[in-house]
Structure 1
Amino acid sequence: MTIETICQHIVPASQSAMELAQKRWNSIAKPLGSLGLLEVEIIRMAGMFGTAQIPVLKPAVIAMCADNGVVAEGVTQTGQEVTAIVTENMSSRDTSVCRMARRAGATVFPVDIGVAVPLQGEHILQKNIRRGTGNIAIEPAMTRQEAEAAILVGIELVGDLKAQGYNLIATGEMGIGNTTTSAAIAAVLLGIEPQVVTGRGAGLSDQGLVRKIDAITRAIAVNQPDPSDAIDVVSKVGGLDLAGLAGVFLGGAYHHIPVLVDGVISMAAALVAAEICPTAKDYMVGSHASAEPAGALFVDALGLKPFLFAGMRLGEGTGAVAVMPILDMALAVYDEMSTFDDIEIEAYQENPQ
């Protein structure tokens, strides 16, 4: 199917399921709303699944891995070769997100969607569209057709994982230079100057930050991305990891599966997906507030409510994975807690006189 066809089949989260989930929370023997955001997001997840009987969660991490030609502009502290190294380490389960996912009971699926060199690793999903993108400071990152192909990869992967029983997806990534492309997308889609949305990424010096802002400014001037066309934006100043993740968000909405938004790269991809299909926001769950400058702006634009304010900026999906145990604990109360009727005490009222 085409992206357009997928979007035509995406429907809003079920209001009736959310109303039933709210009634369930109100019946549980505790003060009304006392678990705050935990209750809110479980209610939203009921709407995503279309039932107040939320299934046992089987979580996965889709980590889109790709190289970005803009590293040639000196916008990163490390070289492009690190993308391949870390992606292969994901396959051997030896990265931060893999260690965290093991504790959270989640499976990590690293995806080569655009790494510059061929990769080895039994767990790597080989979905390469092209071997790295163009340098956005002087040319488009990719063609529109390549961007659409990457989006479709993300959509299809969610369907594949659903068929394997996975029903909660965290969005992760690996790609040296992708805080640059994310900032470029933020500048275009949010209509904000590059210097406002650009941060130091993995630890740039003052001079490096100046180069990064300059590269983004030139990228926008050279490529003239259309803010009203998110696919045009991601193809011209984005990256294959971002396009693939945008597809994951669209796939979650299409398949009625909650998708956890991670940090600023994941948020940029989520905004692309929301611009393509606004209803996709119904199926996004916030995880943490990124420490990157664009993070708070993305949170506001997407209407996310992060669970964690921990100053995280690692990427890989680590923030999203950190929230998985919180959701599990919320479901334990939602599913297992006694009701007011069970313990024969008077229920709390919303507006007591």
Structure 2
Amino acid sequence: MSAAPARVVLVGPAHPYKGGGARHTTELAHRLHGLGHPTAVESWRAQYPSVLYPGVQTVEAPEGDPYPGTRRGLAWYRPDGWWRTGRRLAREADLVVLTLFSPVQVPAYLGILAGLRSARSRPPRTVALCHNVLPHERRAVDVSLVRALLRRVDGVLTHSPEQASLAEGLRPAGADRPAVAEMPPHLPDTGGAAAPPPGERRHLLFLGIVRPYKGVDVLLRALAAGAPADVTLTVAGEFWGGTGEAAALAERLGIADRVRLRDGYVPAEELPGLYASADAVVLPYRTATASQNVWLAHEHGLPVIATRAGTLAGHVREGVDGLLCEPGDVDGLARTLREFYAPGEPERLRAGVRPVDAEPYWREYTGRLLEA
């Protein structure tokens, strides 16, 4: 970690933008400020064109403590503002962190970098903080955009060795190797999670944006093939493209009466009720980078049934607070659902659940970021 305080600017989403990205940027700003580093957040008033993000992008109530040093001037449709922001940050920052969630952000980041380098003073160091180096469902232009960004920054921070390897392949020869730090907990404020009442609900929960890589189709097939006939499922979150495909699949599988599709972003105040209604959270991801969903379930006292995709398996103590299976394996997930509902097993796994201790993760994370 730097010996002297560094003036840090995080460029990324913050309230009123919703979801884990905004919470992560905000919590990181609070943590860096708490370590003595003067920190600001350069956020967006318009992050994506609506045609590229069909869901609701913002929320009214913040999902945690907003960071007071937050500016909201960036807009996807104002390239001149990107360059001017870079020019200003060249005077204000020692370190500029560009938080990458999607290649759609890259043109704005290239504009900011151009502004930084146009200043007469020595530009600050720049780090690309990659939540996803490349999208799970990617296009050729995504690779070109991210390569253009990663070749122009001084350092890169990723959330897993696999993501670091992917980023390294997009960096110029001789560049510093990407740093790795596990993404720390940044959970929404749900007003305090009460312990779930005893007994089985015979109900499972999937929570989050529904996209093909999340494997909801695998879960529906496994529910039909392996779970006891009285077990039901709620799929809660924004459906990318609507619920029609999932509803049709549930109908074909003969489980439509056992599946509730709750379309739309789930605000923090609704989370305790959803968790209290379930025996476990199921995460049937085909691929994953980093996710808060295991920790969020454990925070609400629920065990997790997950695949060994990305970092998910590292957050589940198999046979203690959850069960694991292989990604994309309908039969394997069906067997795991049967194992979970063996007599007494839901209660036993629930008894092993412990909330995550966030502090060690954040100490490691902020240190790696400042070193990058």
The answer, yes or no, to whether TM exceeds 0.5 is no
Q: Which has the larger radius of gyration?
A: 2
* TM-score, with structure 2 as normaliser: 0.34
Q: TM-score, normalised by structure 1?
A: 0.36
- Which structure is richer in relative contact order (CA contacts within 8 A, separation 6 or more)? 1
